[in-house]
Structure 1
Amino acid sequence: MNTTGNTILVSGGGSGIGLALAQRWHDAGNIVIITGRNAAKLDAAITGRPNMSAMTLDVTDADAIATFAKDIVAKHPGLNVLVNNAGIMSSEDASAKRDLADAEATVLTNVLGPIRLTDALIDHLATQNDAAIVNVTSGLAFVPLPKAPTYSATKAAMHSYSVALRIQLAGEVEVIELAPPAVRTDLTPGQSTRENYMPLDDFADEVMALFAQAPTPEEILVQNVLPLRHAEANGTVPQVLGMLASL
């Protein structure tokens, strides 16, 4: 993936990891479009940034995605990079019968959302030079967080989806997986101030350095996520799972 000269769409770009990366890509000389459901956050994110724009989008709405895809291609015909970053995370107690609304919303947002957005834009992306899809997963795709079983499962699904998509799109669209560790964002209550989580700026800086490698790695993995990513190969899943269970 080129580091500059792109037109990049970042879903969930109004805050957290999406915003941090969107601003760094913009600083590097790319045209960047961010999406999200909160118009006020989007407007604040692009203030004072020419060539960075915002469009509202609810990735849980299939009809809205279809309309959005037509609109963004019309407004930005040079669009060549899609970053599927929008996601939600909830703690769950699955030890007894419960209301599954949060679990269902997590699957809809974290799996169907990026699949639908990719599908809506793939024909256009396949015609572009230096096209790429970046799917943001998680270290929890490889070792689940027991208190967030559905979230962990959605990220495992998107890891698998990315691997398969990479084969199908070989030679047409580059498919890159970005798997963050625990980062200080507002993804869950209190997460932005947790001492043992990676500072957002440090994470974004390391990610951008990895994207600058040539060729771009198929998986963007900062040092903090490597114990999760390689746990199965290293035979350390029980230890890592135990650590996660204690959180």
Structure 2
Amino acid sequence: MKSSGNTILMTGGGSGIGAALAQRLAARGDTVIVAGRRREALEEAIAGHDRMHAMTLDIDDAGSIEDFAARLIAEHPALNAVIHNAGIMRFEALDARRDLADAEATIATNLLGPIRLTNALIDHLVAQPDAAIVTVTSGLAFVPLVAAPTYSASKAAIHSYTVSLRDALKGRVEVIEIAPPAVRTNLTPGQSDREGYMPLDAFADEVMALLSGDPTPAEVLVERVRPLRNAEAEGAFDQRLQMINDFARAERERNGG
């Protein structure tokens, strides 16, 4: 990925990881369009950043994605990169019959959203020089959080989809995966204050350093996520499955979440 001069779409760019990375990308010389549902949050994210722009997007709606893609290309024809960051995480109990609305919403946002948006932009991207598609998955793609099973499964699916994209687009579009550990954001209630989670600024700074590598790594992995990414290869899957679930449970109980 070029170290500056890109025109980048960042979904879920109004807060958290999306906003933090978007602001750093703009500061290094990229033009960044942040997209999301809440216009107020987007405007707050771009305030004071000349290279940032805001566009509303309902990532759950297929028709909205198609309309958005057409507007995006018309307004920013130099677009050469997309970062699929939008996502939701819902806690679900699997031990009794339940309403599946949370599971279905998670799949629509975390899995179908990136697939649909990539499809809407792919013909444009393959025609651009230095094009890149970046997916944001999770350490939970590799070792699941039992309390968030559909979220973990959706991230595992996007990891697999990213591998396929990388091979299908080899030599035409660079495909990169960012797999965060638990980061202090508002993804779930109380998460922004959990001491055991990685501070957002530290995460964003480490990601930016890795993205600046030459060549850019296919998987952008901060040090704190490596135990999850490598759990199976290191023969430690069962141990780390229990470890992260015990840790997450204790953190939620300690913070009343």
Q: Name the TM tier (shorter chain).
A: over 0.9
Question: Which residue of 1 is the match for residue 76 of structure 2?
Answer: 76
Question: Which residue of 1 is the match for residue 134 of structure 2?
Answer: 134
In the alignment, the residues of structure 1 paired with residue 182 and residue 245 of structure 2 have an alpha-carbon distance, to the nearest angstrom, of 14
In the alignment, the residues of structure 2 paired with residue 28 and residue 204 of structure 1 have an alpha-carbon distance, to the nearest angstrom, of 13
Gaps of 5+ in 1: none
Please give the per-residue CA displacement for 1:97-154, whole angstroms capped at 9, x wherever unaligned: 1000000000000000000000000000001010000000000000000111000000
Question: Which residue of 1 is the match for residue 45 of structure 2?
Answer: 45
Question: Which residue of 2 is the match for residue 88 of structure 1?
Answer: 88
In the alignment, the residues of structure 2 paired with residue 224 and residue 198 of structure 1 have an alpha-carbon distance, to the nearest angstrom, of 8
Question: Which residue of 1 is the match for residue 185 of structure 2?
Answer: 185
- Alpha-carbon offset, residue 48 of structure 1: 1.7
In the alignment, the residues of structure 1 paired with residue 213 and residue 4 of structure 2 have an alpha-carbon distance, to the nearest angstrom, of 13
Question: Which residue of 1 is the match for residue 237 of structure 2?
Answer: 237
- Check conservation: 1:17, 1:200, Cα contact below 8 A: yes
- Alpha-carbon offset, residue 49 of structure 1: 1.4
TM-score (norm 2): 0.95
In the alignment, the residues of structure 2 paired with residue 207 and residue 198 of structure 1 have an alpha-carbon distance, to the nearest angstrom, of 12
Q: Where has structure 1 moved over 4 Å in runs of 4 or more?
A: none
- Check conservation: 1:132, 1:176, Cα contact below 8 A: yes
Question: Which residue of 2 is the match for residue 167 of structure 1?
Answer: 167
Please give the per-residue CA displacement for 1:168-195, whole angstroms capped at 9, x wherever unaligned: 0001100000000000000000000000
Question: Which residue of 1 is the match for residue 97 of structure 2?
Answer: 97
Gaps of 5+ in 2: 249-257
In the alignment, the residues of structure 2 paired with residue 72 and residue 135 of structure 1 have an alpha-carbon distance, to the nearest angstrom, of 19
Question: Which residue of 1 is the match for residue 222 of structure 2?
Answer: 222
In the alignment, the residues of structure 1 paired with residue 79 and residue 208 of structure 2 have an alpha-carbon distance, to the nearest angstrom, of 20
In the alignment, the residues of structure 2 paired with residue 136 and residue 162 of structure 1 have an alpha-carbon distance, to the nearest angstrom, of 10
In the alignment, the residues of structure 1 paired with residue 176 and residue 48 of structure 2 have an alpha-carbon distance, to the nearest angstrom, of 30
In the alignment, the residues of structure 1 paired with residue 47 and residue 205 of structure 2 have an alpha-carbon distance, to the nearest angstrom, of 22
- Check conservation: 1:32, 1:52, Cα contact below 8 A: yes
> How many residues get paired?
247
In the alignment, the residues of structure 2 paired with residue 226 and residue 234 of structure 1 have an alpha-carbon distance, to the nearest angstrom, of 11
Please give the per-residue CA displacement for 1:40-94, whole angstroms capped at 9, x wherever unaligned: 0001111121121000001001000000000000000000000000000011001
Look up the SS of the partner of 2:34 in the other structure.
Answer: strand
- Alpha-carbon offset, residue 243 of structure 1: 1.1
State yes or no: 1:3 paired with 2:6. Answer: no
Which residue identity does 1:239 align to in structure 2?
A: Q
In the alignment, the residues of structure 2 paired with residue 155 and residue 240 of structure 1 have an alpha-carbon distance, to the nearest angstrom, of 18
